[in-house]
Amino acid sequence: MQIIHSEDHRLQDVPTEFYRGRWVEAFETPRRAELVLAAVQRAFPGPVLAPRRFGTAPLLAVHDAGFIDFLATIWERWEAETGPTPAYPNVWPPRRSRMIPTTRPGAELGRYAIDMSSPVLAGTWQAAQSAADCALTGAALVDAGAPAAFALCRPPGHHAGRDYFGGYCFLNNAAIAARAFRDAGAARVAVLDIDYHHGNGTQDIFYACADVLTVSLHADPVQDYPYYAGFADETGEGEGAGCNLNLPLPWGTGYAGWGDALSRALARIAAFAPQRLVVSLGVDAFEGDPISRFRLRGADFADIGRRIGGLGLPTLFVMEGGYAVEAIGDNVASVLGGHMAARG
C-alpha cells in the first residue's frame, strides 16, 4: 500500500471550535493525522511518500476560479484588517441577497463559508494545497499501476463544493483526484464516500456529470450535518441524472444496517463499471466517535475494506473524518488491510 502524506497539515491547527452553541476543544486536529500515520506505518512498513506539487490547474478543474483566488488571498486581507487571529465570517448573505463583491474580508468569508468549523489561518492555503497534492500524487501512482494508494490528506475535503468550504474542508481532495483520473484517460470514475457525514461537496461538484458516479453512505441529513444535502431523492441532474446515489441512515445504525447499504453501494458501482475508484475514507461511523451516532465496531472496518477490495478496481483512498482519536489509526489501517487482503 503506497502512503502519501505531507507535514504541511500541521499548518491548520486551532485549539477550539464552535460546536452546538459552545466553544469546545477542537475535534479536527493534527493529532488525528499523526495517529493514522503511525498506525498505517506499523501495518505497512515502508517509505511514506511526500506529495508532488501540481499547482492550481487540477484545483480549477473542480472548483470555481473566484473561490480558489479567495482561498489563496483571504488570509492576507484578513490579517491586514484584523490582525493574526483566526478568520471567521462576520455575516452570511441572507436569502435573495445581491451577491456583489464587498471590500471587507469578514463579509467575503461569509460568501464562501457554510459554517463556523473551518477558520482560515496563516497556513490554511498551504495546508489545503498540500492535501490536494497528496490526493493527486496517489492518483498518479494508481495510474502508474499501483493497485491501491492511501492519501493521508489533512485538511479533509468532502464538504468543500465548487465554490464553498466548511466542515473542516477547504479543497475537495477526493473530487480533485477523481477529475485527475478522468483527465488521465479513465472513461468512468466512481467516488464512494463512507464517512459518517454526507459528502455534500463531492455531490455538488459532480451532480451534473455522467462520467463520475458519486455514492455516499451517511447519517440522515434530517438529523445530522450537513443537513441540507444527502437525501435519497438527490440522484443527479442533466447528463448526470442517475449518477448520484445517497444512502442516508438513521442514528443508531449498526453494521448490519450499514453493511446492507454498503452492498447497495457496491452493486451500483459494479454496474457503473468504472476504471478507477476513489474512496472518501472517513471512519467516524465508529461507535466511539464523539460527534457521530452510528455503531460500527473496530472489527467491522477490516470487512469494509475487504468488501471494497472485492470490486477489483484500482483504488485511491483519501482520508476524511474520524474523531475518536485513540481508535482512528487502527480503524483506518483495518480498512486498508482488509482491502489489500481482498486484492491478494
106 class by beta-carbon count within 10 Å (0-12 exposed, 13-18 middle, 19+ buried): middle
Cβ atoms of 120 and 160 within 8 Å: the answer is no
CB within 8 Å of 331: residues ≥ 6 apart = 283, 286, 298, 301, 322, 324
Cα 32 from Cα 16, distance rounded (Å): 15
Cα 11 from Cα 23, distance rounded (Å): 21
Cα 264 from Cα 243, distance rounded (Å): 14
278 has which bridge partners?
A: 191, 316
Three-class SS state of 299: helix
Write the DSSP assignment of 103-159 as a string of letters: S-HHHHHHHHB-SSS--B-TTHHHHHHHHHHHHHHHHHHHHTT-SEEEEE-SS--TT
Of 54, 223, 265, give the one whose Cα is nearest residue 139. 54
198 catalytically annotated: no
Q: Indicate which residue of 159, 198, 218, 339 is catalytic.
A: 159
Cα 195 from Cα 165, distance rounded (Å): 17
Write the DSSP assignment of 61-107 as a string of letters: TTS-HHHHHHHHHHHHHHHHHH-SS-B--S--PPTT------S-HHH
Catalytic site positions: 159
